[in-house]
Chains A and B, each alone.
Chain A
Amino acid sequence: MMRERRGAILLAGVCLLALLLLVGLAEDHLPAPDLSLSNAGPGALPPFGADEKGRSLLAYAAQGASVAVIPAILAGLFVGGFGVIGGLLRALGWSRLDSWIQGISEVVGALPRMVVLLVVALILPEDQRGLLPIALTWGALATPGAMDEAAAVAERLGGARFVEALKAHGYSAARIYLYHIVVLNLRPVVVRQGAEVMMQVVFLEIAFSYLARVESYPSFTHPDSVSSWADLLYLGYPSLAFWEGTTAHALGLGLGLVAFVAVVALSTSHAARAR
């Protein structure tokens, strides 16, 4: 793939992500529901119009974004960061520390992920509920895999021999570790891992919301007693309903959000791919 085209895709992916982030952050700044604008079209209340309560439909997108996107990004960065650490440790050749971390990694990696996640979701006190702790737990459980993969990449590079040859050449430690190892070689692996985790966190949000809805359980991921965004979206889109039923709405809009994040994640990961 041409370098320029890759750069463009990467930029597009990052911009979409930034947009999502902004939308999520903007939630509190949107106008309050105004009954006089009930069912107004996009002309009166850009960009999507309002529902029958006069609430801007953008608020719903913002709600979804604010709930899912920030934890997803943080979890992705968390995993990516640990991937970089795993790769660097292998390249530095600090074998003692490396084997300690590998040991811990193996224990963590052996834990059954969904069980741990459900346990965390259930034991979180009401006021601490949110997607973020769940997302970070998921991220933590994914770090062993990311670190292993990054370490394997560092190993294939030649490990200490590679570093020594570049050092003998006269390159600074920063150039060797930060540019060659992290940016050129670990980046593809780490970005892909981060993107995968991001998508997985969004899926988790859908799954937990659906579970709570179906089991008539208070939401796992929302601290307020007002129900999950699945409910909210249902309340907000009766005028757009093509199907009846909460499930359909939740699924439809959930899939929309997933698709959006997936496009962002895949395009970023694809553009950051190794040669």
Chain B
Amino acid sequence: MSALIELRDLTIRSPQRRLIEGVSLTIHGGKVTALVGPSGAGKSLSARACMGVIDVLPGLERGSLVYPELDPKKDWYAGVAGGGARSHAGLLAATRHLRGAWFAYSPQAASSALNPGRTLGRQLELAIARRSTPPANLGEEIRSLLRGVGLGPEAAAALPGELSGGMCQRAALAIAIAPKPRLVVADEPETGLDPVLRRAVVELLVQTCKEHGAGLLLISHHSDTIDRIADDVVRLPAPAGAGGDL
């Protein structure tokens, strides 16, 4: 089975220094890859770069990104390095159709990633609409997604502002997995959750991915989680030269 993502030698820089250097990873469908490392190592940056999102300039210095399942020959980073804002914007635009459908991203501080003006049910509906085959029963599908993250059916009618931080985080996760993506990128989904909920959320992610043969790129600090569920661990070193606050 071909890999979902093959990232080689990713190096991104900011005006002051190299933020990440020489990062390589391969993600297969149905497998869990954990991305670990100390704060400031560039985990979130690497994860977003896998989806074609590089929002630092000068940005990409070198690297190659291939999605073998989609097109084994195409290197999406070709021509981006050294191209400035325009080429990075071009990369963003070229990968846009993949995000939210082929990829799903659950960011850190997920509650701020929810649309505050729409109810959860509606946001789930929109996410589900990006599936290649629509579900038999939309309402039931929404309820089951919510149940999976430990939210009751009444949450479908709630606006993000009415939910607590932990609930928002779980809602964002549900929205991420709703379109049945090929790859879920979950950036520290366990933050701020108590141990029981942490396990529930991680188990849901892993279960959903394995059920559909999707890949999971998980950024986590918790060693117990990583030991239990990761098939593959990519370790990023501490940032070089950064003063690093304690």
Chains A, B in direct contact (C-beta < 8 Å)? no
